[in-house]
Structure 1
Amino acid sequence: MDGHLTHTRTDWAHFQPGAGAGMTLMQAHFTAHAFERHSHPTYAVGLTHTGVQTFQCRGARHASQRGDVILFNPDEPHDGSRGTDAGFGYSMLYLEPAVLQAWRDGAAGTRVAAYFRQPLAHDPQAAQALHQALAAAAQPQERLRAEALASAALIGLLQRYGEHTGDVSDCLDAGRDRMEQARDYIATYFAEDLTVERLAQQVGLSRVHLSRAFAKRFGVPPHVYLNAVRLRQAQTALLAGQPLAQVALAAGFADQSHFNRRFKGSFGLSPGAWLAQMGPGSRPWDTYIL
């Protein structure tokens, strides 16, 4: 974490850069601390994880409970404090206006409002999408995935809770050559912490257009394809006898724990268990034992 602020044993806040330029992630828990009335020059979109967070915004008092989504527009005044003695824990994603503006792209089919019409939403589906984006933002070597999930979550929130009805439709055809170029670039630089911006620059598209056009062409977004390439490289290295920790880093994962999570998420078992079944000396029926 790049920042660490402590007030008491139960009050803490961590800040770190987000998936790309203009994005910052905050994770915090407060019991004693109360925010004075303030505003941010950025969008601030958050998710309450525990407890109750109360705040004054737009002339009304709001209470954000577990699973609720907080939606602050740039320069929108608000405060914040605990709603119960237990305090509250939450995550917040701060986005420069230019980031969100880039995600509102007619060519990409994301014609949504520029501002939120309300500061709080109880929406389990939107909360789950935002939770996945926030979790990815906190994971090293996942910037491609983190921005893709963040843009999808924010576009969905603006579509539902924007100042006017949003329209998310198919993107314009970006051409087969561009998409194959992006796919080949991922296959070449899979070990690096690729970003949507880097891929988009390679093919001359906006970031959100690249992501949506890639998914339309290949059936999965770029970050899912990247994960598949990394796992394929890792399987080859494991079968060649390379150590697990070395395989994890060479394939582009942050560490062995990160590698284990993504491997099990795709194959249903750990890399070590897979190797025991597929490596030299394994029995044919072992591959069916989880």
Structure 2
Amino acid sequence: MAGRSRSTASDWVDYAAREVLDITLMRAHFKTHRFERHSHERFSIALTTSGVQSFHCGGALRVSLPGDLILFNPDQAHDGHQGAPEGFGYTMLYVPIETMTGNSDPDAHLLLGRHFSTPVARDPDLARQFVAAVAAIEQPGETLRGQELVTAFFSALMRRHGERARSDLAVASTGARRMSLARDYLAANFHRDVAIAELAAMTQLSRAHFSRAFTRHYGVPPHVWLNAVRLSQARRMLLHGEPAAEVAVACGFADQSHFSRRFKGAMGVSPARWLQQMRRD
């Protein structure tokens, strides 16, 4: 990280935008910060590099040790905190959905999974490929090599730890259509303070039934999914030069303080610091 020592005695975060396949790279170490429950619109792939990383995901407490891969699907809710006094360090790639799912090749009989089957995987060979892929995308002037190594890593990752979507989530089902309608409504109204009654009425379900159905279908409660949409839009607006105070209001947050809390709770760093890092280089 430019201008600071990457000490394991304190919290630090370093984000970097990479042109290779529109990937965002993050390196971090946390000892005191606790991530609130959140999700991302992209695939999130991390390698724990030090300490013990603990998080809740899929209804269970997970633990990641050095050398373990952490694999989050888009919209998969999780939190994060230290699992040992020394904290934990990790490197993460935020990967567009089309990049991860675009590696299947039916003509070559290569049909890969479309989501990860487990949030933690101990796979030393893939851990080495991860390190090599990260080094490649950080090498200036070698975009082709970076794309090749990253694509090979993603394909191997999905072959070993990916699976096809479950049949009970088929988009043709009545329940799925209702949940898709609610999700589209949230995406179109992220700037508003949406009430659960609106969504329940739209799907013709009780409020409790709707909340359970949405969580079961997408793996994340409606408010967590809405927060992810808001933060995704906020990041785009910040990168386009919009002032943080205006971004907060436009994205449905009560004020700039509320926006900053939710942003740091999901990203581990303030909006201003994130923007500074993403614009670097």
TM-score range, shorter chain: 0.5 to 0.7
Does the CA contact (< 8 Å) of 1:26 and 1:91 recur in 2? yes
Aligned mates of 2:123, 2:103 — CA distance in 1: 21
TM-score by length of 2: 0.54
Q: Compare CA radii of gyration and give the structure with the larger one.
A: 1
Displacement over 4 Å in runs of 4+: 6-9
Aligned mates of 1:34, 1:137 — CA distance in 2: 29
Aligned to 2:29: 29
How many residues in Structure 1 have an aligned counterpart in Structure 2?
164
Aligned mates of 1:158, 1:109 — CA distance in 2: 14
Greater relative contact order: 1 or 2 (C-alpha under 8 angstroms, separation 6 or more)? 2
Does the CA contact (< 8 Å) of 2:56 and 2:79 recur in 1? yes
Q: Aligned-pair distance for 1:140? A: 2.4
Give the letter aligned to residue 71 of structure 2: L
Aligned to 2:15: 15
Q: Aligned-pair distance for 1:27? A: 0.9
Long gaps (5+) in structure 1: 166-290
Distance change >3 Å, CA 83–CA 44, structure 1 → 2: same
TM-score by length of 1: 0.52
Aligned identity (percent) is 42
Aligned mates of 1:63, 1:114 — CA distance in 2: 24
Aligned to 1:104: 104
Does the CA contact (< 8 Å) of 2:9 and 2:31 recur in 1? no
Aligned to 1:65: 65
Tell me whether 1:136 sits opposite 2:136 in the alignment.
yes
Distance change >3 Å, CA 21–CA 164, structure 1 → 2: closer
- Partner deviation per Cα, 1:240-271 (whole Å, 9 max, x = no partner): xxxxxxxxxxxxxxxxxxxxxxxxxxxxxxxx
Aligned mates of 2:137, 2:11 — CA distance in 1: 22
Q: Aligned-pair distance for 1:98? A: 1.4
Does the CA contact (< 8 Å) of 1:55 and 1:62 recur in 2? yes
Q: Aligned-pair distance for 1:45? A: 0.6
Aligned mates of 2:43, 2:65 — CA distance in 1: 20
Query: 2:20 aligns to what SS in structure 1?
Result: coil
Query: 1:141 aligns to what SS in structure 2?
Result: coil
Query: 2:74 aligns to what SS in structure 1?
Result: coil
Does the CA contact (< 8 Å) of 1:45 and 1:72 recur in 2? yes
Give the letter aligned to residue 38 of structure 1: H
Long gaps (5+) in structure 2: 166-281
Q: Aligned-pair distance for 1:77? A: 0.2
Aligned mates of 1:50, 1:86 — CA distance in 2: 9
Give the letter aligned to residue 65 of structure 1: L
Aligned mates of 1:8, 1:89 — CA distance in 2: 8
- Partner deviation per Cα, 1:118-150 (whole Å, 9 max, x = no partner): 111011111111111112223322322222111
12-21 vs 84-93, which deviates more? Answer: 12-21
Aligned mates of 2:83, 2:8 — CA distance in 1: 18
Does the CA contact (< 8 Å) of 1:56 and 1:78 recur in 2? yes
Does the CA contact (< 8 Å) of 1:44 and 1:71 recur in 2? yes
Report the RMSD for the aligned CA atoms in angstroms.
2.6
Query: 1:110 aligns to what SS in structure 2?
Result: coil
Aligned mates of 1:139, 1:52 — CA distance in 2: 29
Q: Aligned-pair distance for 1:9? A: 6.2
